Structure 1
Amino acid sequence: MVQTAERRLSAGLLLLLAGLAAIGALSTNIILPSFPSIASALGVPTRDLGLTLSSFFVAFAIGQLFVGPLSDRYGRRHFVLGGLAVFVIGSAVCGAAESFPMLIAGRIIQALGVCAASVLSRAIARDLFDGEELAKALSLTMVAMAAAPGFSPLLGSALDTQFGWRSAFVVVAALGTILAAYYALGAGETHPADRRSATSLRAVMGAYRGLLVDPRFIRPALAVSLVIGGLYAFFAAAPAILIVNLGLSSLQLGLFFATTVFVVFASGLLAPRLAHKWGARSIAILGIVLALLGGVLLLAMSNATTFPAFAVALAIFLLGMGLVNPLGTAITLHPFGRQAGLASALLGFLQMACAALGTALTTALPLPPVLSLSLILTGGSILALVVFLRHRADTHHGKA
C-alpha cells in the first residue's frame, strides 16, 4: 500500500493527476469547432448540438456523486481504471454514431466514465498530500484542467479540417487508453484499507446532507463553484461575442482560447507561493475580488466592446479564477481527509451544476451576449465573495 508520508509531488505524479483532471474538459471542448460538420452529417440543426454538452454535464454531475463515496469504501484504483474504460467505449460509440440519438448516448457513456477520473484526481491528491503541499498539487493540476478547454478547440479545429469530425473521438479514446495504462503502471492504491469507510447508501446520503450543511465545506465549495460557473459561461458566450460581434474567424477564436491558458497557468503557479506567504484564505479572497473586477470591467464596456478591452477584462477574471480555484478547493477538502472521495464528488457536482447554470443563462437571458456574460461574471463573483467571507469570519483563527 502507498503511504501518504512516502509520496512526493514528482513530475510523473503531477502529469498523472493533471491528465485525470483534464481529460473530461478536453473531451467536451474539442468537439465545439465540429458542430457544423456533425450537424450536417447527422441531419440535425446546429443549435441542437448543444444537447451534446448538456447531456454530458448532467451525466457527469450525477455519476460523480456515486463514484466518490464508493471509492472511499473500496479504493480509488478500480474506479479510475474502470471509468477510463467506460470513457473509451463511449468515445467509440460517438465516433461511430450514425444518428443523433446514438451520439447523445455515446456522450452520456463518456461522461459516466470520465467523471471518475476527474473527481478522483482531487481525492487522490488529498490522499497523498496535506496543507501547502496539497495546495501546490491542486494548483498545478487545476492549471491542466483549465488548460484543456483552452487548447482543445484549437486541436479540434485542426482535426476537423484535416480528418473530419469523427477523428476527435478517436483522439480522446486514444488519450483515455494511454492515461489508463500510465495509471495502471505508475500508481498504487492511494486509499488503503485502514483509511476506508464502510458506509451504506443511506449513510452516504446522510453524509452528503452533512456536508451540505457544514459551513467548512459548503461555503468555500459554493464560492469556487460560482466562479467556475462564470468560466463555463465565458466558453459558451465567447463564439457569439468574438465571431459574430467582433468579427474574429474560428481559427482566431481557437487561438484566443489557447492564449487564455497562459493567464490561468501563471495564476496557478502563483497561487501556492502567495498562499505560503499570505495564507490560502487571503489569496483565495484576492482571487474572487479579481474575478469580480473582471466582470465589472466587462459590464462597464458592454455597450461598446472592443477586442482589446474584452481580452483585458477576461484576463483579469481568469487571473482571479486561477487563484481561487485551487486554493478554494484545498480549503474545501482539507477538513475531510477520511471522506475525500465523497467531499470531492460533491464539490464536483456543485461545480458542474454551476457550469450548467452559467452556460444556460448565456443563451436564456434576452440580452446581448456581452451584457449577459458580464452580468453572470459579476453576479456570480459577488455571491462567491459573500459566502467565502462568511467562511473566513467563522474560521479566522484556523489555517488552511
Structure 2
Amino acid sequence: MRVIFVLGALIALGPLTIDMYLPALPALGEDLSASSSAVQLTLTGTLLGLGLGQLVIGPLSDAFGRRLPLIIGTAVHVLASLLCLVAPNVVVLGLLRTLQGVGAAAAAVVALAVVRDLFTGRAAATMMSRLMLVMGAAPILAPSLGAAILLTGSWRGVFAALAVLGFALMLVAVFALKETLPPQRRRTGSFGPVLRTYRSLVTDRQFVVLALVAALGMSALFSYVSGSSFVLQGTFGLDQQQFGLVFAIGAVALIGASQVNVVLLNRWSAERIVLWALAAATAFGAVLVAVAATGLGGLIGFLIPLLLLLGAVGFVLPNAPALALSRHGEAAGTAAALLGATQFGLGALIAPLVGVLGNDAPAMALTMTAGVLIAWAALAATRVRTRRAEVAVA
C-alpha cells in the first residue's frame, strides 16, 4: 500500500498539471487576448514537455538510479510553475508550460520504471490498475480545485497551487521513495548505448504496437481533456463548478473501469481485455458522434455514451503499458520513457485537432472515436499476424 500511494502520488503530478487549469481556459484566453485555439496550444506544450522530457529522463534513470532524476525533475516543475505566474502573453505561457511538462515527465517515467523494477506480467497490470485508483483522485479533484481557486482569484493562482503541489511531491521523492535500481543493474548513460537501446525498442514490432495502442487510448482521453471545457461550458452552458463536477464523473468512470480490470485479469489475459475494450470504445464512440451531430438528448444524451467511452478506455490504459513494459525489463526506464513519450507526444498532436475541427461536441466526439478505432485495428491486425506466424511454424 505504501508503494501504491507513493507511486500514485508521483504519477498524479502529470494529470494535476494538465487538468487543474482546465476551468480557467476561457478566462485565460480573455485575459491574454488569445483565441481558444491558441489557448489550447498551452496544453499542447505541456503534453510535448511530458513526452520529450521522458526520452531524456528515462535513460538517465537507467544510468543513475530512479531517485536523482526524479528529484531534479520535480524541482524543474516547481520553478516553471512559479514562472507561469508572471507570464505576460500566451506564447510565453506556452513555452513555460512545456518546461513544466518536462519537470512532470520525471515523475511519470520514474513511477513506471519502479513498477517494472518490482513487478512483472499480470502483477504489473494489477499494480497499474491500483495506481490508476490512487492517481485518479488527480483528474477528479484538479478541475474542482482550479474552479475553487478561480472563485477567489485569477488563473495565475492555479500555477501557484501547482508550485506548492510540485514541492510537496519533491519531498515525497526525497523522503518516501527508496531506490529500486541497484548499481549493479544500472546501464551506461553514454550516447551510443542509449541509442542502441532505443533502436532495440523501435525494432520490436509488438512493443511498438502496444505503445501505439496505449498512446491512442491516451489520445482519446486528451481529446476529451482538451475540448471538454469548451464543449461543456460553451455548448451546454455549464458554469465552472458544474464543469468540475461533470469532469469528476468522467474520471470516476475511468477509474472504476480500471478497478474492475483487476478482477477481469483473474480470468482473461490483459491483451484480450484490451482488444474487447477497444471494440466497445469504438461502438460507444460511434454513438457519441451521432448524438453530438444531431443534438439528440441534450446534455444527458451526450454524457451517457461519453462516460461509457471513458470507461472502456479505463480498461486500456493500465493493460497496454504493462504488456509493453513486460517485454523489456532490462531497460525499464528507457522503455517507460519511449512509451510515455509516445503517449504524450501523440496526445500533443491529436488534442489540438479538437480546436482545429471547431472546438464543439462533434469535433471532440470524432477525435476521441478515431483514436480508439485506429488502436483497435492495429491490435487486431497484430493478433491475426501473430496467429498466422504460429500456424506457419507449427
TM-score with structure 2 length normalisation?
Answer: 0.91
Shift of 1:373: 2.5
SS at match of 1:277: coil
- Match of residue 176 from structure 1: 166
Say if 2:333 is the partner of 1:349.
no
- Cα deviation code 1:15-47 (max 9, x no counterpart): 111111111221122112223544455555565
Shift of 1:331: 0.4
- Match of residue 268 from structure 2: 278
C-alpha separation between the residues in 2 aligned to 1:378 and 1:45? 26
- Cα deviation code 1:124-159 (max 9, x no counterpart): 111111122211111122344455234311210111
Say if 2:57 is the partner of 1:72.
no
Code of the aligned partner of 1:65: L
CA contact (8 A) 2:41 2:352 kept: no
Code of the aligned partner of 1:265: I
Say if 2:115 is the partner of 1:125.
yes
- Match of residue 7 from structure 1: none
- Cα deviation code 1:50-105 (max 9, x no counterpart): 33212222222211101101111111110011111111111111124345554344
Say if 2:355 is the partner of 1:363.
yes
Say if 2:176 is the partner of 1:186.
yes
- Match of residue 154 from structure 1: 144
C-alpha separation between the residues in 2 aligned to 1:144 and 1:369? 31
SS at match of 2:312: helix
Kindly report which structure 2 residues correspond to 1:1-400, keeping only aligned pairs within 5 A, or say none: 10=1, 12-39=2-29, 41-42=31-32, 44=34, 47-301=37-291, 302-305=293-296, 306-365=298-357, 369-393=360-384
CA contact (8 A) 1:219 1:390 kept: no
Which range is displaced more, 316-325 or 32-41?
A: 32-41
Identity of aligned residues (%): 31
C-alpha separation between the residues in 2 aligned to 1:133 and 1:61? 26
CA RMSD of aligned residues (A): 2.2
C-alpha separation between the residues in 2 aligned to 1:395 and 1:76? 35
Code of the aligned partner of 2:74: L
C-alpha separation between the residues in 2 aligned to 1:345 and 1:286? 27
SS at match of 1:335: coil
CA contact (8 A) 2:55 2:341 kept: yes
- Alignment CA distance shift 1:387-1:54 (3 Å): same
- Alignment CA distance shift 1:374-1:47 (3 Å): closer
SS at match of 1:278: coil
C-alpha separation between the residues in 2 aligned to 1:278 and 1:320? 16
C-alpha separation between the residues in 1 aligned to 2:231 and 2:98? 29
- Alignment CA distance shift 1:394-1:73 (3 Å): farther
C-alpha separation between the residues in 2 aligned to 1:148 and 1:75? 26
C-alpha separation between the residues in 2 aligned to 1:327 and 1:251? 33
- Match of residue 5 from structure 1: none
- Alignment CA distance shift 1:330-1:46 (3 Å): closer
- Cα deviation code 1:193-236 (max 9, x no counterpart): 12122253233223223322312211111112112111111122
Code of the aligned partner of 2:276: L
- Alignment CA distance shift 1:187-1:324 (3 Å): same
Structure 2, unpaired ranges of 5+: none
CA contact (8 A) 1:281 1:392 kept: no
Which range is displaced more, 53-62 or 145-154?
A: 145-154
C-alpha separation between the residues in 2 aligned to 1:146 and 1:288? 20
SS at match of 1:188: coil
- Alignment CA distance shift 1:100-1:289 (3 Å): closer
C-alpha separation between the residues in 1 aligned to 2:62 and 2:111? 13
CA contact (8 A) 1:291 1:377 kept: no
C-alpha separation between the residues in 1 aligned to 2:158 and 2:130? 26
Structure 1, unpaired ranges of 5+: 1-9
Aligned residues: 386
Code of the aligned partner of 1:353: G
Code of the aligned partner of 1:390: A
Shift of 1:376: 2.0
C-alpha separation between the residues in 1 aligned to 2:200 and 2:130? 30
